[in-house]
Structure 1
Amino acid sequence: MQNFNYSIPTKIYFGKGQIKKLAKVSRYGNKALLVYGGGSIKGNGIYDKAAAVLRESGISFFELSGVDPNPRIETVALGAALCREKEIDAVIAIGGGSTIDCAKMIAAAAKYEGEPWDLVLDGGKIKEALPIVCVLTLAATGSEMDGFAVISDMDKNDKLDTASELIKPAFSILDPKFTYSVSKKQTAAGTADIMSHVFEVYFTREKDAYLQARMCEAVLKTCIKYGPVAMEQPDDYEARANLMWASSLAINGLLSYGSDVPWCVHPMEHELSAFYDITHGDGLAILTPVWMEYVLSEDTLDKFVEFGVNVWDIDSEKEPMEIAKMAIDRTRTFFDQLGLPKTLADVGIDDKNLAKMAEKLDGLFTDTYVPLTGSQILEIYRRAL
């Protein structure tokens, strides 16, 4: 097991009625920037609940709405300027991962004199940030409890992730009832995103990270059990609660401490979103089984057998390669049962830009679970068409 430093400083208020904890924003000051997306929070009542708590707590707030599903650097710059102009004390994100990522970078850019994109290119340049508070409305990215943010510059076809301990939220409010209005499509894509986060750390070269592997399997089985339930019964509290907590645990560091490995499928999908602005979870559902098939070999066989037996309950008496291939097939079938797209063609992507995307990733996957060159990445893209 690798050495690691454990740090998960975000306080979580989980459960029904926890929106009242939003009053704790007052510890940072009396002016906040409220960041959200297309306005669904006003239709489902979440906005009114949050606004009421803030007003009762004597916190005045300004608003930045319209955050895109793949948040843009222009929105970050706009929010940072607003923070400086209004002398904002804290940034509150109400939404899913895109809104939270945008809010994180606004909080950092508000304290940075240069261009906000500098902080995306190099998270080490983040030296301070305004306090960040999250009210989660979609179980997917886990951004409510981590130090990552993904921002796009669509003019350059760039979608990049950045990281800093300073953009980990101060606290996050996780009320599963706030996800009741999430559509079937977004629930499915969110479930795929959670599972992909786990796959990125489950498939590691660390052989002795037994505990981490078992925790990964628990989160995967939770998604497999409750993803379909939440889609068919959107107000099933048990399903929504389990998915919401799985989302946070999948990427807050707990599963990867001691067994960390550079990610592979996520950066590949980021290229798809940067060029075609597709839903992140859709791209992951398409690429993941193809990547699994590509990296399956005698060297990786044991891990895929472990995956098949422990996650998909495949009979351990079967031949190892049969188990591995069945596990990949069941993963693909599960995503299909959720109604997610199966091929790049299903989301309107052809061969036109695949070589450009693979070239941008060439040299970045030298230390991933299975190292990949640009030409191998291109082959995975093409197999996904």
Structure 2
Amino acid sequence: MRNFTYQNGTKLIFGKDTEKLVGHEIAQYTTKVLLHYGGGSIKKTKLYETVLTSLNNANIEVIELPGVQPNPRLSLVHEGIKMCREQNITFILAVGGGSVIDSAKAIAAGVPYEGDVWDLFCGTPITKDCLPVGTILTIPAAGSETSSGSVITNEENGLKRSCGHSSMRPVFSILNPELTYTLPMYQTACGIADMLAHVLERYFTNEPSVDVTDRLCEATMKAIIKNGRRVMNDPMNYDLRAELMLAGMIAHNGSLDVGRLGDWASHELEHELSGQYDIAHGAGLAIIFPAWMKFVYKHDVQRFAQFGHRVFDLEINLNNLEETALRAIECLEHFFKELNLPTRFTEAHLPTDEIELLAQKLVSHCESVGNFVKIYKEDALAIYQLAL
């Protein structure tokens, strides 16, 4: 097990009607806030009205910046940074899913930075604390509500990149499962794939003697799969929504990382898909992860067989671990199909003749990606080929 330091300062406020507490929470930090959100969904569900009432009752001045899109855009981040600087805004409230929260975090990092915030997503370290961010989560998926990272798309060049810093963790996050009732089922499915992928990235490690976090990962994955299947047929079930909202947070808050080094190649491979084609991140992961598994499973057949046995209840073939490993990959791919997600480029109507471009973009900022197995350009081409 590796040495580690773990600290997560996000205050979690979980349960019914908790969004009504947002004014009280923000009043502890400021009297002026940037309210950051996406399209019109929070207005249709009356969440917008509830949030404004709570903020007004706490005497919080509200400056709004709507317009966040899936795979959040750098141009809107630039606009938010400009607004915060010009109007002396020192707190950002993100109301939405991972895209809104990531956009808010990028703004929070960019305000104190003297250069272009895109530098921070291209390797320049964050040396000044970000502005504080609070969140009201409406889409359980990305785990950004308690994570220390952000992912932004530069629409001018189609690049999707990430950066992170401890001060990026939101100071509080409000999680009310009721707010997810009206999510379209495809968006719910993409969220389930996203949170499951976050656990898988951590699970496939070369670190020995990580039994505790192995079991935590396996339990979280089993819960996601069980409740993910059920919620597709019972979307208004509070308990199912609550289980998934909690799982999405646990999957990416860092607690499953301790003592181990995860992989993250699949996320990097997928970022090229969503950056280039604007596909939903969870759908892209459903395409990439099984292909990555097929390419790397021989690196540690025993771990893949363990995954199949402990997560999908497969009986291990002690005489042929490879058979069990391949069946495990099939089970994961079948689960994504149960969610009506694509598992191939063709099923998502993505071009199949541009994988050279995707592989080249992947290594444009680094020689390789991944830790479980190092993935170089030729490996990325092979994985994309398996995903066609």
TM-score (norm 1): 0.97
Give the counterpart letter for 1:76 in structure 2. Answer: V
Q: Distance in 1 between matches of 2:143 and 2:126?
A: 23
Q: What aligned pairs does 1:256-275 form with structure 2 within 5 A after superposition?
A: 256-275=257-276
On the 8 A contact 1:108/1:126 being kept in 2, the answer is no
On the 8 A contact 2:35/2:64 being kept in 1, the answer is yes
CA-CA distance at 1:372 after TM superposition: 1.9
- In structure 2, the partner of 1:333 is 334
- In structure 1, the partner of 2:379 is 376
On the 8 A contact 2:108/2:132 being kept in 1, the answer is yes
Q: What aligned pairs does 1:124-203 form with structure 2 within 5 A after superposition?
A: 124-203=125-204
Q: Distance in 2 between matches of 1:45 and 1:293?
A: 45
State the identity as a percent.
40
Is residue 14 from structure 1 mapped to residue 14 from structure 2 by the alignment? Answer: yes
Aligned in 2, Cα 1:274/1:313: closer, same or farther, shift over 3 Å? same
Q: Could you tell which deviates more after superposition, 146-155 or 20-29? A: 20-29
- In structure 1, the partner of 2:220 is 219
Aligned in 2, Cα 1:262/1:295: closer, same or farther, shift over 3 Å? closer
Q: Could you tell which deviates more after superposition, 287-296 or 346-355? A: 346-355
How many matched pairs?
A: 384
CA-CA distance at 1:126 after TM superposition: 4.5
Q: Distance in 2 between matches of 1:167 and 1:379?
A: 35
CA-CA distance at 1:155 after TM superposition: 1.2
Q: What aligned pairs does 1:195-344 form with structure 2 within 5 A after superposition?
A: 195-297=196-298, 299-317=299-317, 319-344=320-345
CA-CA distance at 1:111 after TM superposition: 1.8
- In structure 2, the partner of 1:61 is 62
CA-CA distance at 1:262 after TM superposition: 3.9
Give the alignment's Cα RMSD to 1 decimal.
1.3
Q: Distance in 2 between matches of 1:231 and 1:48?
A: 28
CA-CA distance at 1:137 after TM superposition: 0.2
- In structure 2, the partner of 1:358 is 359
On the 8 A contact 1:118/1:125 being kept in 2, the answer is no
Q: Distance in 2 between matches of 1:286 and 1:292?
A: 11
Q: Distance in 2 between matches of 1:111 and 1:210?
A: 41
Q: Distance in 1 between matches of 2:344 and 2:378?
A: 19
On the 8 A contact 1:70/1:152 being kept in 2, the answer is yes
CA-CA distance at 1:366 after TM superposition: 5.9
On the 8 A contact 1:183/1:231 being kept in 2, the answer is no
Q: Distance in 2 between matches of 1:339 and 1:262?
A: 26
Q: Distance in 2 between matches of 1:90 and 1:232?
A: 39
Q: Distance in 2 between matches of 1:261 and 1:244?
A: 22
Aligned in 2, Cα 1:232/1:170: closer, same or farther, shift over 3 Å? same
CA-CA distance at 1:342 after TM superposition: 2.1
CA-CA distance at 1:353 after TM superposition: 2.5
Give the counterpart letter for 2:213 in structure 1. Answer: Q
Q: What aligned pairs does 1:22-33 form with structure 2 within 5 A after superposition?
A: 22=22, 23-33=24-34
Q: Distance in 2 between matches of 1:336 and 1:123?
A: 39
Give the counterpart letter for 1:20 in structure 2. Answer: K
Q: Distance in 2 between matches of 1:314 and 1:86?
A: 58
Give deviations 1:190-243, integer Å, cap 9, x for gaps. 000001111101000012111111010111111111112222211111111110
CA-CA distance at 1:351 after TM superposition: 3.2
Q: Distance in 2 between matches of 1:360 and 1:373?
A: 12
On the 8 A contact 1:30/1:89 being kept in 2, the answer is no
On the 8 A contact 1:285/1:341 being kept in 2, the answer is yes
Q: Distance in 1 between matches of 2:122 and 2:54?
A: 36
Q: Distance in 2 between matches of 1:230 and 1:100?
A: 24
On the 8 A contact 1:34/1:64 being kept in 2, the answer is yes
On the 8 A contact 1:107/1:129 being kept in 2, the answer is yes
Q: Distance in 1 between matches of 2:170 and 2:125?
A: 17
Q: Distance in 2 between matches of 1:5 and 1:152?
A: 30
On the 8 A contact 1:100/1:144 being kept in 2, the answer is yes
TM-score (norm 2): 0.96
Give the counterpart letter for 1:229 in structure 2. Answer: R
Q: Distance in 2 between matches of 1:366 and 1:87?
A: 39
Give deviations 1:60-114, integer Å, cap 9, x for gaps. 1011111010111100010111111221131000000000000011112122222
Give the counterpart letter for 1:166 in structure 2. Answer: S
On the 8 A contact 1:194/1:246 being kept in 2, the answer is yes
Q: Distance in 2 between matches of 1:355 and 1:255?
A: 34
On the 8 A contact 1:80/1:110 being kept in 2, the answer is yes
Q: Distance in 1 between matches of 2:92 and 2:346?
A: 39
Q: Distance in 1 between matches of 2:385 and 2:174?
A: 41
On the 8 A contact 2:263/2:373 being kept in 1, the answer is no
Q: Distance in 2 between matches of 1:338 and 1:316?
A: 26
